[in-house]
């Protein structure tokens, strides 16, 4: 039996104080990958020391990148000076979906890359068709051999006009990186507009790339011969910011969230202010005050590419909606499997009906009670932490490696704002798992099409 770490949480407490946000995991992962585009040293500051980031640092080291750090202060130096390996290690690449972003820089630098189909997870199948379509458009050959892809462009990549049939964050980032060293100009149409994409483009430009239009649906990249060195300070993690804001709101607490970028979360502030939560935004901090006694008003949520409501905040928002007075529909438009986790929330006492894999109806307020739960992925894991803080009694959350993938020193930061949470290591995993719960009769598809 593998060592299973758990969080033990006693809920029902009002939280208060200040929590500090870290660097954005989904920005840092891409800048680490992009270091393969240059033969000069890159310094990255404010790196979040979370599992996914530490794994990708290991991955680039295994490819031949010289790595100094990361230090405890989140600083790391990456230097891809010599030859790099162009075959991604299957075991590590399958563990980290984000490893797919490495294929662009390696292909651009080496003219060849081979990699396994990256793992999916409970949130969805996670296809890579837009990556392969983009590589072919840029003149590469794509072959599939024994569950691995081999992409070759021995004469180097050439600029292309590429339309994304679906908006893909890592697809946009990976092809943008590859295009920086292609011969000629590349245009990416229907590109992702997430702040992490713009942050990556700005840094690549600081290293000598020629990218424009980032942050809009059309990005233009003029290929250059080489990229230089530079220093990247990781942008604040907007999903961590939103997770803590929803935690404050769901527990009727007052929490100051520091070192964040409030302007990245307009869709969330709209939901919280509609509910009656006080949201005071400043330059790099936001105060969330939900200590009023008035009932919280629910609002329907539809997840959407940026600047719409972030799919990564859907799970924490569903827990918040269980504490609102009334009913709300949550429509998860991005991933087909990203509502499965709600089955376990029902077992904690939530009143949720699944209309189809993309839509649930949440009825509140519901009294939640502690129980043993397994964390299926990063964001559902954080949702269960929030649910445990709301619930009466004790909750054990298993498989918290998933939470450590995206949230650094979570229990330390939560204890500082008054949460009763501790980390223990044990061997027993819970009997219940989300998938078995999904078949649970009490969670059958209701087929209800009520007006919301």
Residues at the site binding ligand EPZ, with contacts judged by CB under 6 A: 26, 29, 97-98, 124, 126-131, 166, 168-171, 311-312, 334-335, 378-379, 406
d(CA 342, CA 324): 16
d(CA 296, CA 107): 51
Nearer to ligand EPZ, 15 or 31 (CB): 31
Nearer to ligand EPZ, 305 or 353 (CB): 305
Nearer to ligand EPZ, 168 or 234 (CB): 168
Query: CA 88: distance to chain centroid?
Result: 22
CB 138 → ligand EPZ: shortest distance, Å?
A: 15
d(CA 127, CA 82): 32
d(CA 401, CA 273): 33
The answer to whether 295 touches 365, Cβ cutoff 8 Å, is yes
Question: Quick check: helix, strand or coil at residue 150?
Answer: strand
DSSP 30-74: HHHHHGGGBSSEEEEES----HHHHHHHHHHHHTT-EEE---TTS
Nearer to ligand EPZ, 166 or 226 (CB): 166
Query: CA 373: distance to chain centroid?
Result: 21
- Per DSSP bridges, beta strands 41-45 and 76-79 are antiparallel
Place of tokens 């390696």: 106
Nearer to ligand EPZ, 331 or 363 (CB): 331
Catalytic residue among 121, 207, 260, 324: 121
> Of the candidates 198, 197, 130, 196, which has an alpha carbon nearest to the alpha carbon of residue 162?
130
Nearer to ligand EPZ, 241 or 253 (CB): 241
- Per DSSP bridges, beta strands 218-222 and 301-302 are unpaired
CB 267 → ligand EPZ: shortest distance, Å?
A: 13
CB 282 → ligand EPZ: shortest distance, Å?
A: 26
d(CA 424, CA 419): 16
CB 191 → ligand EPZ: shortest distance, Å?
A: 11
**Angle at the Cα of 284 (from 11 to 301), degrees rounded to 5?**
55
CB 83 → ligand EPZ: shortest distance, Å?
A: 27
CB 103 → ligand EPZ: shortest distance, Å?
A: 12
Q: Is 260 known to be catalytic?
A: no
Active site residues: 121
């Amino acid at each position: 039996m593998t060592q299973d770490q758990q969080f033990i949480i006693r809920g029902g407490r009002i939280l208060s104080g200040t929590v500090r946000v870290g660097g954005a995991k989904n920005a840092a992962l891409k800048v680490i990958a992009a270091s393969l585009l240059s033969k000069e040293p890159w310094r990255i500051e404010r790196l979040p020391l979370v599992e996914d980031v530490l794994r990708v640092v290991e991955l680039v080291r295994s490819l031949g990148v010289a790595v100094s750090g990361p230090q405890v202060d989140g600083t790391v130096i990456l230097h891809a000076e010599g030859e790099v390996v162009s075959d991604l290690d299957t075991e590590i690449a399958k563990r980290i979906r984000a490893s797919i972003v490495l294929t662009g820089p390696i292909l651009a630098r080496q003219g060849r890359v081979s990699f396994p189909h990256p793992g999916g997870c409970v949130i969805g199948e996670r296809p890579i068709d837009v990556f392969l379509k983009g590589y072919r458009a840029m003149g590469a050959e794509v072959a599939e051999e024994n569950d691995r892809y081999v992409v070759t462009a021995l004469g180097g990549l050439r600029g292309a006009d590429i339309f994304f049939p679906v908006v893909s964050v890592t697809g946009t980032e990976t092809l943008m990186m590859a295009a920086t060293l292609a011969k000629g100009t590349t245009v990416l149409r229907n590109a992702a507009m997430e702040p992490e994409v713009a942050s990556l483009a700005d840094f690549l430009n600081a290293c000598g790339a020629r990218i424009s239009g980032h942050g809009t649906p059309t990005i233009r990249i003029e290929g250059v011969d080489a990229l230089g060195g530079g220093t990247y300070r990781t942008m604040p993690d907007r999903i961590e910011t939103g997770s803590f804001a929803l935690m404050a709101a769901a527990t009727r607490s007052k929490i100051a969230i520091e070192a964040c970028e409030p302007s990245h979360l307009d869709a969330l502030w709209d939901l919280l202010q509609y509910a009656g939560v006080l949201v005071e935004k400043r330059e790099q901090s936001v105060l969330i005050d939900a200590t009023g006694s008035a009932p919280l008003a629910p609002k329907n949520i539809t997840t959407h590419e940026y600047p719409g409501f972030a799919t990564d905040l859907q799970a924490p928002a569903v827990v918040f909606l269980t504490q609102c007075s009334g009913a709300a529909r949550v429509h998860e438009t991005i991933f087909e499997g990203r509502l499965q986790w709600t089955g376990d929330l029902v077992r904690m006492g939530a009143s949720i009906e699944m209309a189809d894999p993309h839509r649930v109806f949440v009825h509140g307020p519901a009294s939640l009670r502690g129980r043993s739960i397994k964390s299926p992925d990063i964001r559902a894991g954080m949702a269960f932490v929030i649910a445990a803080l709301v619930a009466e009694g004790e909750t054990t959350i298993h498989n918290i490696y998933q939470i450590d993938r995206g949230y650094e020193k979570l229990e330390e930061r939560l204890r500082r704002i008054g949460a009763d949470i501790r980390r223990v290591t044990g061997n027993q995993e819970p009997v219940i798992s989300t998938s078995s719960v999904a078949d649970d009769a009490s969670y059958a598809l209701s087929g209800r099409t009520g007006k919301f």
